[in-house]
Amino acid sequence: MNRPLRVILLLVIKYVHCRLWPKGVVHYAINKKDYDIHSQDVIISTFTQLQKEICVKFFNSPANYTASEQDKILYVNNPYKSKNCPPKHYDYSKAIVEMPIGYKCIDEKEISRIVVDMLRASIEPSDSPINSYDLIKKFQEKKEDHTRLSLLTPADRNYINAHYHFECGALSQRPGLTSQDFGASLHLTRANLEYYENKLWPLGIVMYGIEGQLRNKPMFAFLKHAMASIELSTCVLFQEDSSDDVLTPRNLVWFGSEGEDMPNLGFMTGNQTVRLESMSQGAPGHTAHALNMLTRVLGVPMMSNRFDRDNYVAINWKRVEKGKEHYLEKAPMSAWLQQIPYDFTSATHAPANYLCGSCTETSPYTVEPVQDHLWQKTLSMGHRTDLSDSDRHLINILYGRECQIRFLSKH
Ligand SMILES: *[C@@H]1O[C@H](CO)[C@@H](O)[C@H](O)[C@H]1NC(C)=O
Ligand SMILES: *[C@@H]1O[C@H](CO)[C@@H](O)[C@H](O)[C@H]1NC(C)=O
């Protein structure tokens, strides 16, 4: 009875795999009747330019190249003599993938946009035309457009390279870039060191205090539980400041009935007062909330704020609580440790309803995975009660030196 289903599944899997250009190579042909010599040159030189930014390669195919379903060919033409280049649906089920370029689009920028749409269509099993212009996000716009000399936005570049990583790798097995090597190199780059320098708590000890009347509240027990969970799997300690001497200058996080909603990202001098309630309770279902707040105290930016997160999640900015948008802004690239993979299961990954200001039953999400057909990621993000492997790994790498100093000073 299961047979037909299995066959369908296999077909689906195969279909999805076949969409990417095999080995990251696009064989193309240009219809010479549709474009003059100069236009052909512009198209070819744009392809060459793009090869410098993405791992996909473009090969001009000989006229007698026989395309098949496996060895597809990209056919650049303009059968209807169009001027413009509206978003288009790309059909990857055929041996020939048509990519029309209108006469008015014969320039590097426009051709790049069309190529990005074509490549995105090879990645995303979607039936609707994809217009990369729609994908430019609120916070990226300013930063990117002025400083860039390249043809692609960093977001497009990262997205394509991330999804073509394995296909491209099949062509050029570069030695020394295996995933094992990434895992083994524990050291931080200079950029990492600069980014985290002022965020780490000395000796890996977070000092905190608690308002007397809150000590016996379940909220505090909950927070202590999260602290214990971090202590058990990392070298970091949370230590209550019990000194009575008001004259000694102290750096601590104070949990009060009033105070900031969010702790500082990383170490801060002086008495930083945070509201206990907002430390321990987050959005409905966000069980990792307290862990996420404490890792924020440790100086760890959220996984879902990673500089390249647009490859993994989309933010519905309109639904984000007013005035809280900056908590969803991307961290700089220097915050990223190469050996840590993007991890939807991280305790620091935002839940789908994170900071949701105007969420309704029909549109309940602020943070949505880019591809999540069975809702697994959407439903599990932020819903854990301990650190993930990559969280542990990350915190131990960041605090390795501080903890070492602590251990050495004891003996
Ligand atoms: C295609 O044409 C080239 C010369 O233009 C020739 O060398 C090659 O053998 C041909 N290939 C096939 C498969 O016919
Ligand atoms: C920290 O500041 C809060 C008020 O914001 C105060 O109630 C508390 O006593 C202070 N804690 C210490 C240890 O100075």
- For the CA of 63, the nearest ligand: 1
Does 68 sit in the ligand 1 pocket, CB within 6 Å?
no
- Does this model's pTM top 0.75? My answer is no
Identify the residue whose C-alpha is closest to ligand 1 atom 5.
62
Class of the 15-171 domain?
alpha beta
Q: Within its chain, how far is the Cα of 151 from the centroid?
A: 21
Summarised one tens digit per residue, pLDDT across range 152-191 is 888 888 788 777 876 776 544 433 333 333 333 357 888 9
Distance 271 CA to ligand 2 centre (A): 6
Q: Probe ligand 1: pick from 27, 60, 61, 64, max atoms within 8 Å of CB?
A: 64
pLDDT digits (tens, 9 = 90+) for 343-362: 999 999 999 999 998 777 77
Strands 271-275 and 252-256: parallel
Ligand 2 contacts CB of residue 304 (under 6 A): no
End-to-end Cα, the chain, rounded Å: 68
Among 273, 274, 275, 276, the mutation site with the greatest number of ligand 2 atoms within 8 A of its Cβ is 273
Parallel/antiparallel/unpaired status of strands 367-369 and 313-315: antiparallel
Instruction: Say whether pLDDT at 71 is over 70.
Output: yes
Centre of ligand 1 from the C-alpha of residue 44, in Å: 21
Residue, of 149 and 221, whose pLDDT is higher: 221
- Ligand 2 contacts CB of residue 285 (under 6 A): no
In the numeric block, the tokens 């104070």 are attached to 254
Contact 402/202 with Cβ under 8 angstroms?
yes
Which of 271, 275, 276 gets mutated to test ligand 2 (max ligand atoms within 8 A of its CB)? 271
Q: Is the pLDDT reported for residue 65 higher than 80?
A: no
Q: In what order do the strands lie in the sheet with 96-100?
A: 57-60, 25-30, 73-77, 96-100
Q: Which residue's alpha carbon is nearest to atom 5 within ligand 2?
A: 273
Q: Is the pLDDT of residue 142 over 90?
A: no
Alpha helix segments (H runs only) across 244-355: 276-280, 289-297
**252-267 per-position pLDDT tens digit:** 999 999 999 999 999 9
- Cα 249 to middle of ligand 2, angstroms: 12
pLDDT for 255? 96
Give the angle 206-211-217 at the CA atoms, nearest 5°: 100
Q: How far, in Å, are 72, 117, 174, 347 from residue 23 at the CA level?
A: 12, 19, 14, 35
Tell me the pLDDT band of 244, cut-offs 50, 70 and 90.
low
**Alpha helices (H) along 20-88:** 37-51
Query: What does DSSP assign to residue 330?
Result: P
CATH number of 202-410: 3.40.390.10
Calculate how far, in angstroms, residue 200's C-alpha sits from the geometric centre of ligand 2: 22
C-beta 64 within 6 A of ligand 1: yes
Segment 379-391, tens digit of pLDDT:
899 999 999 999 9
- For residues 146 and 269, give the distance between their C-alpha atoms in angstroms, rounded to a whole number: 36
Q: Tell me the CA–centroid distance for residue 66 and ligand 1, in Å.
A: 10
- With a 6 Å cutoff on the Cβ, whether 273 touches ligand 2 is yes
Nearest ligand 2 atom, CA 271:
1
Domain ranges of the chain: 15-171, 202-410
Does ligand 1 have an atom closer than 6 angstroms to the CB of 86?
no
Instruction: Inform me whether the pLDDT recorded for 140 exceeds 50.
Output: no
CA of 29 to the centre of ligand 1 (A): 15
pLDDT for the residue numbered 135: 37
